Amino acid sequence: MDIHHIRNIYCVGRNYGLHAAELGNSVPDEPMIFTKPTHALVVADGSPVVLPEDRGDVHYEAELVLHIGRDYTPGMTVDELVDVMSLGIDFTLRDVQNVIKSKGYPWLPAKGFLRSAVVTKPIAFPGLEAIKSLELSLKRNGQEVQRGSASQMIFSLQTLIDYIASHYGLGAGDLIYTGTPPGVAAVQDGDRYELLWDERVLGAFTAKLGD
């Protein structure tokens, strides 16, 4: 997976019930999909990730990320479509999001800023059944702050793929950020983040609040 050849970045909001609850949000009746520009994508390769410091709190949201390896046709399964997976962070300008939500404005200013879509190196997709028993986790400064698995999602991976494909289109080179488990919080300057899959570190970086 080459981030310079990613076509679309789809993201799923409120796909874990406990995360919706921690922010006081209702659970949706159907998948909540938003997008990020490809310019938001950055690899967690140990280098610092620069985030805005003058637009209120920036929250981390760790997620399972699917890479679509083939163009979708109706009836295709997750196992047929997904070639590799990664972990990622959907960074969110929470104060900005709260304001635009209250006004009914689009989420782009809160979700689509530069370097708001962190992704780790890819690994082989283990298959839909196997992935349900595996967990992602996020450590901040050595302490675990998030943990979750696909088995806890409100909308299954197959549901997400079918929904995105039928409403927006889905093809080779697309990414899907599948939602975050509970435990999100504000980033502090100098925080060190590690993204783990089945207790193995797939990527890490230091957050730098700046321009």
**Model pLDDT for residues 56-90, shown as the tens digit of each residue:** 999 999 999 999 999 999 999 999 999 999 999 99
Alpha helices in 43-153 (DSSP H): 78-81, 94-103, 108-111, 128-131
Q: How confident is the model at residue 179 (pLDDT cuts 50, 70, 90)?
A: very high
pLDDT at 102 (0 to 100): 86
Is the per-residue pLDDT at 26 higher than 70? no
- What is the percentage of the chain residues whose pLDDT exceeds 70? 92
Q: How confident is the model at residue 105 (pLDDT cuts 50, 70, 90)?
A: confident
167 SS3 class = helix
Q: How confident is the model at residue 28 (pLDDT cuts 50, 70, 90)?
A: confident
Is the per-residue pLDDT at 157 higher than 70? yes
Whether the predicted model's global pTM rises above the 0.85 cut: yes
Is the per-residue pLDDT at 128 higher than 60? yes
User: What region, left, alpha or beta, does residue 75 occupy, with left being phi > 0 and alpha being psi -120 to 50 degrees?
Assistant: left
Mean pLDDT, all residues of the chain:
92
CA dihedral 34, 36, 38, 43 (to 10 degrees): -110
Lowest mean pLDDT among 61-70, 87-96, 103-112, 115-124: 103-112
Q: Token pair for residue 177?
A: 């950020």
Find the mean pLDDT for residues 13-18.
Answer: 80
Q: How confident is the model at residue 167 (pLDDT cuts 50, 70, 90)?
A: very high
